[in-house]
Amino acid sequence: MKRTIFIMTGEASGDLHGAMLVRHIREITDEYQFVGVGGSEMEQAGVTLIDHYSQYSAMGLIEPLKKIRFFQRAFKRITAYIADNAINTVITVDYPGFNLPLAKRLYRHRPRVIHYISPQLWAWHYSRIHDIRKFFYAVVALYPFEVDMYRAEGVRAYFHGNPLVDSTLAKLADGAPLTVPDSIEYVALLPGSRLSEVSRHIKPLVDAAVILRRERPVEFLVPILSGPSGEFVRRYLADHCPDGLPVHIVENNTQRAIERARIVITSSGTATLETAILETPMIIIYKVSIPFEILGKLLVRVKDIGLVNIVAGRRICPELTQRDASGAGIAREAMRLLADPAAYDTMLAGIRAVKERLGAPGAIRRIARQFVELIEE
């Protein structure tokens, strides 16, 4: 009889990471069957779902409070399912606001809870380390500095590389070559993936493009994805770009646009690491609402917001936030980088060092092997 593993995700990215993990564990052994909370990706990977992750989605500050009764019922339902079926191994994927309290509630039933994708303790709420040490059997992290932090606190932690390296290079290989002239210098503009990010970033990016075009014969690549945020960008460019501003929309081919660009101006987030993996110098921008700005100043422990800088352990790429992320401010940083070969080469060297820290391709296979070892201990 196959051993049952419960896997818990609470959002789309966790569904994707969980599915990749399950597929690669199954390539190693067919001794396990998987059940849990996820979405279509995990279902296609062969996980039997007891709930869809979409019910667990709660963004911002207010929405989680509105769903508190749902979460209380979910904790009871999942805990009872694991206890009633005598499941002794639980994999929790990211989603720490739910998964850490879940691990606490499971503690008296004593399943082995292995957490994949570390909570960002280094950014905020470091006090969670005590619960992590008590309630997680081990943590498999995506960044090397996290392992050092955890081991110093007595937490079993492992790093085997970041699967983003493989997925970024695979998307690059799968993307069609761009149909733009090779002889032109391009700047890629990445306003973000969420509609809230895009709506704040697209105007200063276009303003910066107008200023840059006055100073240099550059053209602009704007990658968009299918969905509301992509349509918002398309409409904004159609309505607000001055006549003659050479903007090329690149649909569902972000990695090719990043690779082709001389520099990238990007919203903070995973895109900064994808840009580093593709070895393109960048400027990082981020704008949030005033309440979130105030909250961030009170709670956030790190001085840098860009993951590329956090992994580097120092600021190798400029960051412009809030009022500094204006068209003029962005254009000024871009001009400095484009006009100064020494500054460009220095940043490129730092970016390549970050890429090396993220590990060699094949991370998900190494991570899957680590999970099998932890399950079988």
Which has more confidence, 294 or 238?
238
Q: For the purposes of burial, counting CB atoms within 10 Å of the CB of 228, is it exposed (0-12), middle (13-18) or buried (19 or more)?
A: exposed
Rounded mean pLDDT, 108-135: 87
Candidates 3.40.50.2000, 3.40.1160.10, 3.30.300.20, 3.30.465.10; CATH matching 3-162+362-376: 3.40.50.2000
Kindly tell me if the per-residue pLDDT of 45 is higher than 90: yes
pLDDT tens digits for range 146-202: 999 999 999 999 999 999 999 999 999 999 999 999 899 999 999 988 888 888 999
Rounded mean pLDDT, 222-237: 92
Q: What is the 3-state secondary structure (H, E, C) of the chain?
A: CCEEEEEECCCHHHHHHHHHHHHHHHHHCCCEEEEEEECHHHHHCCCEEEEEHHHHCCCCCCHHHHCHHHHHHHHHHHHHHHHHCCCCEEEEECCHHHHHHHHHHHHHHCCEEEEECCCCCCCCCHHHHHHHHHHCCEEEECCHHHHHHHHHCCCCEEECCCCHHHHHHHHHHHCCCCCCCCCCCEEEEECCCCHHHHHHHHHHHHHHHHHHHHHCCCEEEEEECCCHHHHHHHHHHHHHCCCCCCEEEEECCHHHHHHHCCEEEEECCHHHHHHHHCCCCEEEEECCCHHHHHHHHHHCCCCCCCHHHHHHCCCCCCEEEHHHCCHHHHHHHHHHHHHCHHHHHHHHHHHHHHHHHCCCCCHHHHHHHHHHHHHHC
Q: Given the DSSP bridges, would you call strands 247-251 and 282-286 parallel, antiparallel or unpaired?
A: unpaired
pLDDT recorded at residue 63: 63
Is 3.40.50.2000 the CATH number for 169-357? yes
Same fold, 3-162+362-376 and 169-357: yes
pLDDT recorded at residue 70: 82
pLDDT tens digits for range 284-295: 998 765 665 455
- The three-point CA angle 24-25-27 to 5° equals 65
Distance CA 218, CA 340 (A): 15
pLDDT tens digits for range 85-105: 999 999 999 998 899 999 999
Distance of CA 255 to the CA centre of its chain: 15
Distance of CA 146 to the CA centre of its chain: 15
- Domains in the chain: boundaries: 3-162+362-376, 169-357
Kindly tell me if the per-residue pLDDT of 222 is higher than 80: yes
Please report which confidence band the pLDDT of residue 138 belongs to, taking 50, 70 and 90 as the band edges.
very high
Residue type, 58: A
* Virtual torsion, Cα 295, 297, 299, 300, nearest 10 deg: 120
Please report which confidence band the pLDDT of residue 59 belongs to, taking 50, 70 and 90 as the band edges.
low
